[in-house]
Structure 1
Amino acid sequence: MKILLDHNIPHELRPLFPEDHDVYTTQYLGWSGYEDDQLLEAAVEASFSVVITLDRNLPHQQNLRAYNIGIIVLAVHPVTASHLEEQLDRVIEALPHAASERESVVLE
């Protein structure tokens, strides 16, 4: 599965995903400055299955059904690498549903 970590997800989480997942960051791809709609369009064009973000407003600001991609929103606090790492099992568990249904999943 091809996964994109949004600019607000700590880069340190990338290697913690299972080996059968291809995980990229917006920074690595040079997409850090993209607006939400540009990012979603680029992710679809590049055949990503899921975008993972901390942007709680994304589902309200974009018509996500217009994009053929799954979205996982991590609505957690505090936003630290260690706390996000603790949530990684939940993210990995949600990936198949988000990818296959092309839906947004909010994890609180």
Structure 2
Amino acid sequence: MRLLLDENLPKRLKQDFPEHEVFTVRDKEWNGTKNGELLKLMVVDGFHALLTFDKNLQHQQNFDKYTLTVFILNAPINTYAELTKLSHQIKALLAAGGLQPGPVIVKDE
């Protein structure tokens, strides 16, 4: 699957998903792109999911317009040490297949 890490996530998080094609917003040179436009670019470029720390995104976008899953990572802070704790849940969801468009909250259980 093609995954995009939002610019509010550490790029090191890419290494947690070696079985997927993972890019950062910086890799794609989409820095500073507004969320709605970013989602459109992702669809055109064949991405399947966005990983973000932006908890407001789920309230700001109409996900009926997009075929993307948006994993909203819910952790105390957006450091690699905290976010990597959520990677196993994301991997399990990706492995299960059948991702639904729209937001999926991922938090430490």
Query: Taking structure 2 as the reference length, what is the TM-score of the superposition?
Result: 0.89
Aligned length, in residue pairs: 107
Identify the residue that residue 46 of structure 1 maps to in structure 2. Answer: 45
Q: Give the Cα separation in 2 of the matches to 1:53 and 1:12.
A: 14
For residues 26-80 of structure 1, the C-alpha deviation after alignment (integer angstroms, 9 at most, x for no partner) is 0111011100001000001001000110000001011112111111000111221
User: Between Structure 1 and Structure 2, which shows a larger proportion of helix residues?
Assistant: 1
Change in Cα spacing, 1:97 to 1:72, as seen in structure 2 (3 Å) is farther
Q: Which residue matches 1:75?
A: 74
Determine if the alignment matches structure 1 residue 3 to structure 2 residue 11. Answer: no
Partner residue in 2 for 1:25:
24
8 Å contact from structure 2 (residues 69, 101) kept in 1? yes
- Structure 1: 5+ residue runs without aligned partners? none
1:90 is aligned to 89
Cα displacement (A) at 1:18: 3.0
CA-based RMSD: 1.6
Q: What letter matches 1:85 in structure 2?
A: T
Deviation at 1:96, TM superposition (A): 4.9
Q: Name the aligned partner's letter for residue 57 of structure 1.
A: N
* Runs (4+) off by over 6 Å: none
**Other structure's SS at 2:76 match:** coil
Distance in 2 (alpha carbons) for counterparts of 1:24 and 1:33: 15
Q: CA deviation at 1:97?
A: 6.1
